[in-house]
Amino acid sequence: MHLAGPAFAPVVVPFKTGCDAWLYSESFAEKTTPPGSKQVNWEQPQSAGAVPAAPPSPSTSDASASSAPSANAAAYDQPSPDAPEADHDSKHEMKKSPASKETDPEPEPIKLAEPVWCDWNLKKVETECDGATETGEYKALTNTKTPWLNLDSSQRIGGGSFPTKFELLYEPDTKTLTASVRVKIIPVDLIKADSTGQAILDCDGRKQSVPYENSAHWRNVANGVGSPFAGLVMEYRDAAGSNVDLVALKRQVEATLNGHKSQLILAGCSKAASCGCRVKVRFNVTFLLSVKNCHVGEYHKEIWLFPKTDRADAASWGESNFDPIPKDPNRYVSLSEMNIVAHECGHLFNYPDEYWAFGGFVHSDYINNGELDFKKADELKLKQTWKMMSTPNLMGSGARRQSAKTRSYYLRYVRQHFSKMTNKTWNIGYEEELVCDENSQIN
């Protein structure tokens, strides 16, 4: 799998005028001009499970949970320029806000206060962002913390890392930063086959479809269409299923990703949490249906869409996903009943998993010498940072709920790229309070 098509050219102004000049350094044009487009090879890691998989199914269904959170919105009235605390000299704030560096530690998100009026401005800028997940490999465990074993009784290796790419567009009229990713979706099926790739038919003369499962079938996907492996072969379908509504799916995914209720705020401003220099952040996902891998234009990520999955991952999704409930072990639910696709789209924006059992791609902070660091997880449980495990969060087992929670620190990588684009340090400001769930994680 690869990224296709040329990158968009950024909008860069080679000179500085007016009160937006404070946001730039002398080398701003150079720093915001990305290199030419290039293809990225999405190679499979050596460990089982080529890409981050969806969280393992819970023992009970969450289908009755409330609807997905709405997109973030400003919580305060419009500040007045006539207020005594208004900031009419934003260009001098640059002295209190050092430029972001690769070596700078990730600042912890701050609780927003009511903003003061500020005369800041910023020109339109657009660029492509290359990155990679801040994740790593480790000795995988089951949910009881016992080794997760291969068929030969050796311990599996979980996690890994893979490259990501998305676009950022800042629009001055609305002071909004939009992170966008375009996903090419190819309908396929996994069927039983002989060593030549010929389908093995059932007694009624029909092909035998097998639900995709990440740890068992990722190599079939790696081999590609028409290449048999372990008694199965992947083949194209003539269309997506009749129950697939990509327009509705886009709405659901974006509503979930945009439920963070957070903004970017200038770091180091003399007004601190009341700084009026704020940027709204929204996530945009475009689904491009590619029947039999037909050309659909530029895209960032290629996805195989199977009729059913027992466990999806960041490269293979299912029109229906397995979600067992008591007395009904064969239940498959539609995409709209869970947030599996929103979870997998989160990975495309660099998000790690927030679960560790059965090979989650946890943040590298929780990996110590190739093993999971549960002590570190306990130390960071009340911090606004990636969790090692969370029940309600989108990147945790909340992916199997309609009410999946999207956190302020999910803006981490957008914040990093935007700081580079403007040569200024931005912080994440959040509105929600912090409480704990039953597992002592951010709720």
pLDDT at 164: 94
Cα(181)–Cα(163) distance, integer angstroms: 13
The answer as to whether 305 is a domain residue is no
* Arithmetic mean of pLDDT over the chain: 81
CB of 89 closer than 8 Å to CB of 277 = no
Does residue 97 carry a pLDDT above 70? no
The answer as to whether 275 is a domain residue is yes
Q: Stretch 172-182: mean pLDDT, rounded? A: 97
The answer as to whether 253 is a domain residue is yes
The answer as to whether 8 is a domain residue is no
Percentage of residues in the chain having pLDDT higher than 70:
74
pLDDT at 119: 85
Please state the three-class secondary structure of 356-389 as a single string.
Answer: CCCCCCCEHHHEECCEECHHHHHHCCCCCCCCCC
Domain count along the chain: 1
Does residue 93 carry a pLDDT above 70? no
Q: Which band of pLDDT confidence, cut at 50, 70 and 90, is reported for residue 26?
A: very low
pLDDT at 43: 37
pLDDT at 442: 40
Give the lowest-confidence range in 2-11, 76-85, 224-233, 268-277: 2-11
DSSP state of 51: S
The answer as to whether 347 is a domain residue is yes
Does residue 415 carry a pLDDT above 50? yes
- Which range has the top average pLDDT, 17-21, 96-100, 266-270, 385-389? 385-389
Say which residue, 51 or 363, is predicted with more confidence. Answer: 363
Does residue 345 carry a pLDDT above 80? yes
Cα(68)–Cα(254) distance, integer angstroms: 10
What are the start-end ranges of the H helices in 245-373?
A: 246-257, 340-348
DSSP tally for the chain: helices H, then strands E: 6, 16
The answer as to whether 165 is a domain residue is yes
- Digit-coded pLDDT (tens) for 208-260: 999 999 989 999 999 999 999 999 999 999 999 998 999 999 999 999 999 99
pLDDT at 94: 52
Q: Stretch 157-173: mean pLDDT, rounded? A: 95
Q: Which band of pLDDT confidence, cut at 50, 70 and 90, is reported for residue 177?
A: very high
Residues spanned by the domain of 268: 18-180+245-296+340-430
pLDDT at 236: 98
Say which residue, 122 or 26, is predicted with more confidence. Answer: 122
- Digit-coded pLDDT (tens) for 290-340: 999 999 999 999 999 999 999 988 899 999 988 866 566 678 888 888 899
Q: Stretch 358-363: mean pLDDT, rounded? A: 95
The answer as to whether 131 is a domain residue is yes
Q: Give the count of beta carbons closer than 10 Å to the beta carbon of residue 233.
A: 25
pTM of the model: 0.80
Angle between helices 340-348 and 246-257 in degrees, nearest 10:
70
Say which residue, 36 or 150, is predicted with more confidence. Answer: 150
pLDDT at 117: 86
pLDDT at 414: 97
The answer as to whether 332 is a domain residue is no
- CA geometry: angle 29, 33, 34, nearest 5 deg: 160
Q: Which band of pLDDT confidence, cut at 50, 70 and 90, is reported for residue 31?
A: very low
CB of 251 closer than 8 Å to CB of 294 = no
| Sign of the Cα pseudo-torsion (267, 268, 272, 275, in order) | negative
